[in-house]
Amino acid sequence: MNGATKNDEKDTQSGNASRRRRRKNMTPYVSFISENNEERTRDRERRTEKEERERRREKEERRREKEARGGRDEERERRHRERRQKQASNFRLKRSSSFKTA
């Protein structure tokens, strides 16, 4: 190993080196998260109390609507089901046609 110390050699064997590298690589990401959180806090402080109440009320309203539906969105479930069926039929079609050409 070029320029590696005895410690690094030991770390490599125990898997600590990769852990250390991972930690070193994480730092920019962690700092980005904290900056993002600070920015959000500043935004929240900038919003007036009235806007904040309005936002909370809308959020609560959406939650209540969802609860009234029983937490289910039939339209979304129907689209999901159709997509699954389409995928399955495409798969069957593809599989059968590949046997014909082979």
The pLDDT of residue 98 is above 80: no
- Write down the residue that tokens 């990401």 correspond to: 29
Q: Tell me: the pLDDT tens digits for 25-60?
A: 666 666 677 788 888 888 877 878 888 889 999 999
d(CA 54, CA 19): 46
Would you give the DSSP letter of residue 64?
H
Q: In the prediction, which pLDDT does 17 show? A: 66
Question: pTM for the complete prediction?
Answer: 0.28
Tokens 């930690």 locate to 23
Residues with Cβ within 8 Å of residue 20, at least 6 apart in sequence: 11
Can you tell me the distance from the alpha carbon of 52 to that of 44, in angstroms, rounded to the nearest whole number?
Answer: 8
Give pLDDT, residue 54: 92
Tell me the two tokens of residue 52.
């904040």
